A and B are shown apart, each in its own frame.
Chain A
Amino acid sequence: MNSSKVVLEFKNVSKFYDVSRSLKEILSGNKPQVKAVENVSFQISQGESVGILGESGCGKTTLAKLILNLLKPNKGEIFFEDVQINKLSDRKNIVAYKRKLQFIFQNPYDSLNPRFTIKEILLEPLKALGFAKINYDEMISNVMQLVKLKNQEEYLHKYPHELSGGQLQRIVLARALIINPKFVVADEPVSMLDVSVRAGILNAFNEAKSKMNFTAIYISHDLALVKYVCERTIVMYLGSIVEDGPTDEVVKNPLHPYTKALVMAVPVPHVNQSHEPLPIKGNIPDATKIYKGCKFADRCPKAKEICFNDNPKLEAKSQMNHRIACHFV
């Protein structure tokens, strides 16, 4: 993308899940697979914030798990700072990798141990990743300031059930940022929260990002939120990237027919808004379906014969950093 250093690189990565087979399929030797991520390649540079956008089942969470090395890809290679992470084997290297990378979970109510006090929760990553003990107190007080939790002492001895959803999500954010990571993956961090609280979390995230200059991946199904947090957006459909470009471009001038429908479908808080029917047919098909051509062809209003037979490559069409996978752009 831009000239700064590439932090994360996916090279033709695929991840397939086996699904349980019917008797007929077992007898005929068929092995249906869900192609959660198929042949995905991209690069993310230092300091970028990238939104991964897609509907449920498009493979965005699988992608996050691949980055975190929680899943091994079936095919392809994943590089983090020029180290191939899916080949990391000894514990020392894995810990070194995890010291650079942190994750923010979707549901703050489920992702904090109810029997730990907030202080214990925040100490956990420091202990697990072997940080020097002398710095603990300072690191905690810094990170609590960063996520805008005032009256620290009051919070540190409480248990998760004593805090509200918004406060909990700030703790989740603090736990991720306390080790000063280089790379943060956030999976729908505000989808469980109320609107009036959401804005606070997003602002804290943005502020922390500009202060600490980490690289961020923000996974969401909500284009409006992605636009608020990320400068670049990757749109996924059924395990493949269909469009990848600067967020403003993707929102203002979506080129892939799927992205167009997605942008149109987002309701806006205005009285005057388009009620035009969406340029998209049907529903998301069965995930085990095998495609020869473009995965979106069945639902695409523009599809011609070539779309059903030939899978379009993800290519830059108009500008260097705006890539689209479609024959007709």
Chain B
Amino acid sequence: MPQLICDRLTLGYEGRIVSTGVSFEVDAGDYVCILGENGSGKSTLIKAILNLKVPMAGKVILGEGLSRAGIGYLPQQTAAQRDFPASVWEIVISGSLNRIGRRPFFSHAQRKQAQENMRRLQVDSLARRCFAELSGGQQHRVLLARALGATDRMLVLDEPASGLDPQITDEMYSLIKDLNRSGLSIIMVSHDTQAALRDASHILHLGNTSLFWGTARDYERSDIGRAYLSRKGMEA
């Protein structure tokens, strides 16, 4: 039973249709990379999966015990957050909010989990530091730790390496791959095709005129894949 099923979604914004007939399934442990040009509806698809926006047509179905509140999310950073007075700890623990129920404060178990997530992403030494004063890579890891607080099943990441140096980018992707190996399903929007081919198990290519869904290996061999990769200057 798949964790996530997208059934014939029609994506669009401001009344314009951008993509139709988007269908795919995500099983537990999959690593799905969503590729596509700007404006092809990648962010809209993410919002549909997270129930932040209702798709124009089609359905998003969550299965296998995955509830709306059980998906972790790493959004793109906003300018306001870069100057926000908050400590790393405050941000990471806020990820566990969906499990707090009706209680006003976080439980001991949730605090321990948050500490563990920080340790996993090597930001535990930064717990008391102000978020705004960290480097780009550190900030992304903190937000990833926050996302882990919300789930132990599936992570949705929107351009997790945007604005990072190449070396930091590599570290970020290897961290994500580690998380995937430990059992988390990954759905990632990215421009980075190299990383996609290396790490992902499946590729979803969204476009105005083309659409691909299948394994990464199949993508490399497909027409769409080859065309996209050659445009990006890579060999198939």
Tell whether A pairs with B: no
A residues with a Cβ closer than 8 A to B are none
B residues with a Cβ closer than 8 A to A are none
